[in-house]
């Protein structure tokens, strides 16, 4: 009898293995695949759809009749063909001594932005810090360099960077797209 008990046991185990192998295992694998797909699609767990945009961040202003995004990835430049430029003159002229000379430079400056009123508000709110940064850049200039078109273009780029750095440090967003001279005197 011992022999028949041992012979019967493997048969029961064999049927159970077949049931597990052909019925339950496929259901587990299908369920796991569906669960993995749902998890990978982000519909499981959190209800967030990724990082949310800051509602206080300035938005790009589209030209009338144009369509496009109102926010761009960092480092991406707005397309001037579809975004409206806003020009903002700085109220007072800047006067600075020039490097290694007795001469001085007096300039009027305006800026442009493709972003909404928030950028111009940040510019006005940080006027003193922006003026200080502009004067620091001006004090590094030489008369010989500024008498060339390339020197003036380089100065505009340096001023744009300096202004955006102040706005970025103080408000978390720059937004100045260009700097323009409204007056330019070297003496």
Q: pLDDT over 90 for what percent of the chain?
A: 61
Q: What is the pLDDT of residue 107?
A: 97
Token pair recorded at residue 30? 């299908």
Phi, psi for residue 21 in degrees, rounded to 5 = -65, -40
Q: Distance (Å, rounded) from C-alpha 13 to C-alpha 55?
A: 64
Computed over every residue of the chain, the mean pLDDT equals: 84
pLDDT 10s digits, 98-151:
998 889 999 999 999 999 999 999 999 999 999 999 999 999 999 999 999 999
The confidence band for 48, taking pLDDT boundaries of 50, 70 and 90, is very low
Q: Using CA atoms in the order 108, 114, 120, 122, what is the torsion angle rounded to 10 degrees? A: -110
Is pLDDT of 83 > 70? Answer: yes
- Return the higher-pLDDT residue of 16 and 109: 109
């Amino acid at each position: 009898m011992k022999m028949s008990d041992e012979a019967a046991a493997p048969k029961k185990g064999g049927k159970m293995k077949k049931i597990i192998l052909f019925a339950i295992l496929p259901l587990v694998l299908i369920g796991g695949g569906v669960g993995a797909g749902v998890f990978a699609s982000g519909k499981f767990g959190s209800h967030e759809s990724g990082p949310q945009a800051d509602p206080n961040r300035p938005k790009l202003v589209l030209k009338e009749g144009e369509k496009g995004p109102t926010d761009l990835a960092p480092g991406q430049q707005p397309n001037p063909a579809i975004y409206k430029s806003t020009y903002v003159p700085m109220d007072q002229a800047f006067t600075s001594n020039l490097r290694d000379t007795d001469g001085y430079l007096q300039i009027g400056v305006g800026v442009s932005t493709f972003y909404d009123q928030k950028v111009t508000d940040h510019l006005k709110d940080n006027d003193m810090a922006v003026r200080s940064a502009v004067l620091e850049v001006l004090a590094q200039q030489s008369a010989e360099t500024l008498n060339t078109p390339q020197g003036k273009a380089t100065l505009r780029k340096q001023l744009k960077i300096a202004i955006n750095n102040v706005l970025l440090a103080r408000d978390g967003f720059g937004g100045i797209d260009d700097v323009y001279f409204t007056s330019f005197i070297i003496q």
